[in-house]
Amino acid sequence: MVRRALNCAVIPAVAVVVAMYGISPARADAIPQAPGHRLVSHYDGSPATAEPVPGQAPPQHPFLAPNGRSGMHADAAGSATYPWSGPLGRNPRVTSEKIAALGGECATATFDAGGRLVTVCGTFSGFKVKLLDPRSLATLAEYPLPQRSSTVEAITSLDFSKIFKDTSGGAYFYLDDQDRAVLADSRQHVLRLAHRQSPDGSWKFTVDDDWDLTGQVPHDCASWTNLRPSGTCDPLTSVMPDWQGRIWWVTRQGRVGTLDPATGALRSVRLAGEEIQNSFSVAEDGVSIVSDHALYSFRATADGTPQVQWRQTYDRGSGTKPGSVNQGSGTTPDLFGDGYVAITDNADDRMNVLVYRRGVDVPADRRLVCTVPVFRSGASTTDNSLISWGNSLVVENNYGYENLTTLLLGKSVVGGASRVDVRPDGSGCDTVWESGIRSPSTVPKLSTANGLLYFYEKEPNAWGIDAWYLSAVDFRTGQRRWRRLTGTGPLYDNNWAPITIGPDGTAYVGVFNGIVAVRDGG
């Protein structure tokens, strides 16, 4: 999952630069470089040759945009894979857009049918849904979302950990089969936003639907007119449709619900004492949700009430690790292979990749396929989704990364990435390769069209230079093929935002000050 991806506030006195609604395309201001960018390598390795990875793509969800365009994890199964090629490293060129004076990170990015980016960017005044030109990165239109209660609490208390542990407010949105962005805002409303072009060529967002969930979800939340709420505030974390078109939603405090978009009917249940800070995945056989205690498979009853099909607890460890938002799994479930679902646990010594059989008729003693420990003793965790393709999983180590202040002055994390494969006969799993790549906090991605994994890398630097790179790693071997410098300094820290591969072959990375694009040159 993306973790604190849109956390743009660290100093409350900094003013926000807000773009005009529906502005016409203009050349974007580049994100400033910190000193030292001329003293580090700008390109390492050599161009790769596309070697497609054979395998079956996840099923196309009938109510989502085509696979690769629908959301943060690329499809309903959460595979984090793209059917088109990303950059191969041929004279790669970097462009960027600065969204605000400070902050402005554009996290989740999707693509409409015309290839334009639909994204959500964070500022002090609140998140903004933005439509960006894919080449210039200029803003074509934007729609402001209400400010999150965690931002108000952080500014009034000067405790900014409240922001960095909040995944609500719209970061987990999806693009539906009609190119509309569906999200849950910080008012406990679910919005469906369309974007349309006017006869004069300008673009704007319009609200097609607005569903109020406050009757189901406690909503006494901090705001500038309610600085000391006395009741309960339960932020909505994520939304996704099921195969019948219902919109499922989850909250931080363990509520799981459905919304019938045709009637507006709402149903919900509560996982008492459990927290949900991840997104979730959907297949025809059910909705897979992970809390900080257990992995669930849900289905809806005839009236839409969520019903547990099965529940599997996991080792949640004895506390929250540095690099994790809570004491539990940091992954969105991956639905892959022949009826498998995968997450990671939070075991104390070494985190494990866990693979389960999804079927409702699977005996309890046969549900677990494998438990595979990854990374080094005492230094392993992930707060980002796995990559899944065929029977393969790729996991990244985020241990030690908390926020953009963690890696200043040339520091890095212990890092690491591993590929784990389920055996063809389902008898267990094996580690295929281990990589030492240091990718502190991104959601990595795989292009199945060229066989490259994309990470966002930062290595230690004795001179204190904070150099950030888009790095391409061979899916088959785990070897880094090339990397390209995107920028230097904390403004280029991706701060939990994912890598996104566009249909035109561009790799996009949300960074603290906006968004970066890397594409092959001529």
Question: How far is it, in rounded angstroms, from Cα 417 to Cα 439?
Answer: 8
Q: Are 468 and 485 in contact (CB under 8 A)?
A: yes
Q: CA dihedral defined by 240, 242, 244, 250, rounded to 10 degrees?
A: -60
Q: Are 246 and 304 in contact (CB under 8 A)?
A: yes
Residues 6 or more apart in contact with residue 407 via CB below 8 angstroms: 401, 413, 440, 458, 466, 493
What is the DSSP annotation of 120-182? EEEETTEEEEEEE-TTT--EEEEEE-PPPHHHHHHHHHT-THHHHT---SSSS-EEBTTS-EE
> Using one digit for the tens of pLDDT, what is the confidence trace for 448-469?
999 999 999 999 999 999 999 9
Residues 6 or more apart in contact with residue 302 via CB below 8 angstroms: none
pLDDT of residue 101: 82
Of the pLDDT bands very low, low, confident and very high (cuts 50, 70, 90), residue 147 is confident
Give phi and psi for 157, each to the nearest 5: -105, -10
Average pLDDT on 140-154 reads 79
What is the DSSP annotation of 401-455? --STTTT-TT------EEEEEE-TTSS-EEEEEEE-----S---EEETTTTEEEE
> Using one digit for the tens of pLDDT, what is the confidence trace for 215-231?
999 887 777 777 788 88
Residue 365: strand, helix, or coil: helix
Q: How far apart are the first and last CA of the chain?
A: 34
pLDDT of residue 253: 94
- pLDDT for residue 234 is more than 50: yes
Q: Are 498 and 108 in contact (CB under 8 A)?
A: yes
pLDDT of residue 269: 98
Pick from 372, 362, 354, 511: nearest CA to 432:
372
- pLDDT for residue 519 is more than 90: yes
Average pLDDT on 282-311 reads 98
pLDDT of residue 123: 78
pLDDT of residue 124: 72
pLDDT of residue 25: 36
Burial status of residue 168 (CB atoms within 10 A of its CB: 0-12, 13-18, 19 or more): buried
pLDDT of residue 464: 96
Mean pLDDT over the full length of the chain = 90
pLDDT of residue 16: 27
Residues 6 or more apart in contact with residue 130 via CB below 8 angstroms: 19, 106, 117, 118, 119, 120, 121, 139, 141, 142, 143
Residues 6 or more apart in contact with residue 53 via CB below 8 angstroms: 389, 390, 446, 448, 451, 475, 476
Whole-prediction pTM: 0.92
Pick from 410, 409, 414: nearest CA to 441:
414
> Using one digit for the tens of pLDDT, what is the confidence trace for 404-455?
889 999 999 999 999 999 999 999 999 999 999 999 999 999 999 999 999 9
Q: Of 23-37, 150-164, 475-489, where does mean pLDDT reach its minimum?
A: 150-164
pLDDT of residue 223: 76
Question: How far is it, in rounded angstroms, from Cα 393 to Cα 412?
Answer: 24
- pLDDT for residue 167 is more than 70: no
pLDDT of residue 392: 98
> Using one digit for the tens of pLDDT, what is the confidence trace for 473-498?
999 999 999 999 999 999 999 999 99
pLDDT of residue 173: 94
- pLDDT for residue 164 is more than 60: no
Radius of gyration of the chain (CA): 21
Going from the N-terminus, what domains does the chain have, and what CATH number goes with each?
43-519 (2.130.10.10)
Q: Are 142 and 104 in contact (CB under 8 A)?
A: no
Q: Of 32-46, 116-130, 366-380, where does mean pLDDT reach its minimum?
A: 116-130
Q: Are 118 and 101 in contact (CB under 8 A)?
A: no
- Give Cα 101 to chain centroid, integer Å: 24
Average pLDDT on 371-392 reads 96
pLDDT of residue 26: 36
> Using one digit for the tens of pLDDT, what is the confidence trace for 326-371?
899 999 999 999 999 999 999 999 999 999 999 999 999 999 999 9
Question: How far is it, in rounded angstroms, from Cα 4 to Cα 402?
Answer: 9
Of the pLDDT bands very low, low, confident and very high (cuts 50, 70, 90), residue 100 is confident
Give phi and psi for 309, each to the nearest 5: -85, -40
